[in-house]
Amino acid sequence: MKTTLSQDQVFDSQTSRPNIPLTPDEERILALYPGGTHADWEDWRWQIRNRIRTLDSIQRIMKLTPWEEHGVIGAGDKLTMSIPPYFAALIDPEDAGCPIRLQSVPQEYEFETAPEEMLDPCGEDKSSAVHGLVHRYPDRVLFLVNEMCAMYCRYCTRSRMVGDGNHTLNASTYDAALNYIRQHKEVRDVLISGGDPLTLGDRMLEYIISSVRSIPHVEFVRIGTRIPVTLPQRITPELLAMFKRYSPIWMSVHFNHAKEVTPRVKHACNMIADAGIPMGSQTVLLRGVNDNPEVMKKLFHELLKIRVRPYYIYQCDPIVGSRHFRTSVETGVNIMQNLRGHTTGYAVPTYVIDGPGGGGKIPIAPEYIVSHSNGRYVLKNFAGELYTYVDPAY
Ligand SMILES: *Cc1c(COP(=O)(O)O)cnc(C)c1O
Ligand code: SF4
């Protein structure tokens, strides 16, 4: 039985563009661009060029609340508002609580600060070995290659640096980072992130990936990106053909809500998986977006269907202006408790808090050890029942 479409059926062979019909919401947004065609919609560069960035353009697609209007007016150069038309079509124009809207449309609460908040909560600048390279863990580094993203997430932990203006990371800063990696033989894993590396063109990406992969002690690279979610059109056969030349490559994709898993995103992730690139998801726990067990479970089930393994849930970092997004740690622990044992183990990520100031990822788990003495562990299972395990020495 034939269950999948062949490459020729999915792609228009002239243009390498998938034949996915536009949804009514996509048609509604596309109609706002005079002369805009279905082919434009499939073109990731058109999507980038036509991102929604001004008060005027966002008011044409929805009626803003007063707190959103103040947010849009006040959002500055860093973490500018920027929403690709594709992602804007997922926003519910009638519902200010829409999870896509909360993530992408600024609110005036961003300009408030709380005492625990920091500009660089993960202490990345402090752990920066050379500009754009963070070496925190013994055997792996974070290589930041740009400051641009398709969409700027309003809770971004790197809001101090991401945005469309004032770029400091580019081909001229890569040399020092690459030299550092060459000189540090303990580095076996390089996580390429930004910004979003996939907003770079194929040629620049290939330069970065091939340079890293040519370092003998680097065993593999990972790409940290949100593009498969916010701009799935960027995932082209040409891009994947290039990635395949530098296998093994892993990908960490930032997903926060099941609503993000559209037919287009499914198509992109299937192509990535078919190219031999394993994907893990990184999810930020956000108030009103995904701060309940059922919403998280739905997301993780959707991800397993497109071969994305839930990898981390991050407690929202205490980034300046993020108070309205942050939930209690108890909320996160409760979500974990409602996942483990209650659904497929592959759908259970690790819940972590990045130690504020630069501690790295610290796993937070529900307490399953009820007591422990003389080699006797009293354990609680997922259903709350008690079991005793005795250490072999006793
Ligand atoms: C998250 C992170 C990594 C990768 O951590 P893993 O647990 O291996 O996924 C590496 N370096 C920095 C600075 C990080 O924040
Ligand atoms: S994609 Fe990542 S780096 Fe870019 S704005 Fe969102 S969270 Fe920040």
Taking only the tens place, the pLDDT of each residue in 146-196 is 999 999 999 999 998 898 887 899 988 999 999 999 999 999 999 999 999
Cα-based distances in Å from 394 to 190, 374, 376, 389: 44, 8, 8, 11
Residue nearest to atom 11 of ligand 1 (CA): 142
State which amino acid sits at residue 34.
P
Ligand 1 touching residue 134 (CB < 6 A):
yes
Burial class (CB in 10 A: 0-12, 13-18, 19+), 149: buried
- Out of 17, 136, 154, 226, the active site residue is 136
- H or E segment and range at residue 154: none
pLDDT over threshold 70, residue 11: no
pLDDT at 7 over 70: no
Please give the average per-residue pLDDT across 124-151, as a whole number.
Answer: 94
Q: What integer pLDDT is reported at residue 5 of this predicted model?
A: 46
Long-range CB pairs of 42-47, under 8 A, 24+ apart, other chains included:
42/15, 42/17, 42/18, 42/233, 43/17, 43/233, 44/231, 44/233, 44/234, 44/236, 47/84, 47/85, 47/86, 47/150, 47/231, 47/233
Q: What is the pLDDT of residues 209-242, one digit of tens each?
A: 999 999 999 999 999 999 999 999 999 999 999 9
307 given a catalytic annotation: no
Q: How far does residue 103's CA lie from ligand 2's centre (Å)?
A: 10
Residue nearest to atom 6 of ligand 2 (CA): 153
Average confidence score pLDDT of the chain: 94
The closest residue, in CA terms, to atom 1 on ligand 1 is 361
The whole-number pLDDT of residue 352 equals 98
Which residues contact residue 35 at a Cβ distance below 8 angstroms, ignoring those fewer than 6 apart?
A: none
Is 140 an active-site residue? yes
Question: Is the pLDDT at 281 greater than 60, yes or no?
Answer: yes
Q: Which residue shows structure tokens 């990696």?
A: 181
**Pairing label, strands 140-144, 189-193:** parallel
Rounded to 10 degrees, what is the CA torsion of 186, 132, 223, 352?
A: 80
Which of 127, 152, 155, 108 minimizes the C-alpha distance to 288? 155
Q: Is 139 a catalytic residue?
A: no
Phi/psi at 45 (5° precision): -70, -35
- Greater confidence (161 vs 274) lies with 274
At 256 the pLDDT is 98
Reference 247, options 283, 203, 277; nearest CA is 277
What is the rounded average pLDDT of the residues 107-128? Answer: 91
Ligand whose nearest atom lies closest to the CA of 83: 2
Could you read off the pLDDT of 321-360 as tens digits, one per residue?
999 999 999 999 999 999 999 999 999 999 999 999 999 9
Q: Residue 279 CA to chain centroid, in angstroms?
A: 11
Q: Is the pLDDT of residue 1 over 50?
A: no
Indicate if ligand 2 lies below 6 Å from the C-beta of 61.
no
Distance from chain centroid for Cα 236: 19
Distance set, CA 76 to CA 4, 66, 119, 265 (Å): 46, 18, 15, 30
Looking at the predicted structure, is the pLDDT value of residue 126 above 90?
Answer: no
- Please indicate whether residue 317, judged by its CB atom, sits closer than 6 Å to ligand 2: no
Question: Which pair of structure tokens corresponds to residue 128?
Answer: 């920066």
Question: Which residue reads 């990184």 in tokens?
Answer: 282
pLDDT band at 12 (very low <50, low <70, confident <90, very high): low
- Per-residue confidence (pLDDT) for residue 6, from 0 to 100: 46
